[in-house]
Structure 1
Amino acid sequence: MLESVLIDTSEHSCCAHHHDHHDLVIDQLYVQYRDITALQDISLNTSCGNRVALVGPNGAGKSTLLKAIAGLVKKSKGTISWRGTQIKKWSKEFAYLPQREEVDWDFPITVRGLVEMGRYPQLGMWKHFAKKDTEAVDKALESLDLVDLQHRQIKQLSGGQQQRAFLARAIAQEAHVLLLDEPFTGLDRPSSETLADLLQKLALEGRLIIASHHDMATVKIHFNQVLLVNKSSHGFGTCDELITEDKLSATFAH
């Protein structure tokens, strides 16, 4: 079900002004599934306006890290803070976009219906759509060039259009941090370039983009920061510093 990818809401309001500067700080994060340690000693410090790539081999824990930041999996140790406080307080400001294969594309919902779901965290319990909610949805559809596609069922879209629809949902949510799991996978070159331009635009507006990514040829093009991860941190910094043959070999070999 598509509802499963929505982040739990809280009673705190989302900041609609994305030009405010906020820090996301992860300190010695551990995630464990029963007897299996999925992540250990993960740390990073980033802020609004950045595009952060999570780079590592399959099974390195990139998806787990995104879900831990989103609050979809529990951490067993360490801290994740946003605006200097525990991340749970600001759950409305985080939007998680799953891998495309995790979505039930046969689910009977239109593009507009999907984008409207982005307003649910803002509505809270038992509230109905108001004029401002409709306007937020209209604006999100327009900004992602989806107005002409808004009444189509989501399976009828191309891969690039489907990614834009999920981004529009995040925009309607007024999310400050976008967590994307392999957003470029399965896209043709024009769709990838369009998505990259959109992510850059969203970052320039003051949002924080964090995405798992596997194409080493495009990391420096699409992102400005990178976390090398293979169960644990193998370096965090700029792409120019860390996307090198030696550092990538060490990360993937480990």
Structure 2
Amino acid sequence: ARKCQQGKDEMAAAQAEAERRRQARLADEKAGAAGAQKDMDDKVAANRKAVQDRMDQIDRNCKSIGAGIADRDAKAEAELQAKIKRVQEESDRAAKEDADHRKSVRDGKVKDMTDTLHRQMQNRKDEAKREVEEGVKQAELFRQQFKEGLQKDHEKEERARQARGNLDTVLITHIRSNQSVHPKDFGAHLTQKQELAYNRGLFEQMAVEGFEKQYTHKFLPQATHTGTGKTDPYPSVGRWHGGDFSSLELHHPDVG
């Protein structure tokens, strides 16, 4: 029984030792597992921290890079907007200048056309006025020419009538003269004219001296050889053909 008890005790001690060992092993395993877990947790935490640090660094880098990019993009956007504004303003200015130039050219052409039309209308009015004035002058000229023609015709008729009257007077006078002069006395007036011409010097001296002016002034116009066929200044004396003239014969007569 003692051996059994001893065996039981030894078995119980062995079991207790085995349990202790198992518990110690479990404790060691738990401690190892806890250490491993702790190591793993530490590693995970370290990894997480490293990752977080990297993420924070990346975030900081992204923020700084993003700010630079944002600044660059904002600056580029501002420059682009300014360029677009300048281009738009330049385009608007060029379009306005072109529109003003086109309007100025069109207004100039319209004004020139209007002025030309006004000048043409005024020229037509002036031309019509000149034509009317020329027509009035032409009509007045025609009336004057017609009046002058009538006057000339009247004067021509009057001259013809006067010539006919003068001819009738001469014919009647000639008839009366022929009726009052004896046929033997025909041509006596020619002889009288020649005698007056022969004595012209005496009549001129009588006129100068004032003797019987009422007769001398009447006889002098008739004392000429015109119409008698004689051309010598002294037809009562014949021409000398025998030689030189005497110096006494070259003196002018003391008459007139």
TM-score with structure 1 setting the length: 0.15
Higher helix share: 2
TM-score with structure 2 setting the length: 0.15
Higher strand share: 1
Larger radius of gyration: 2
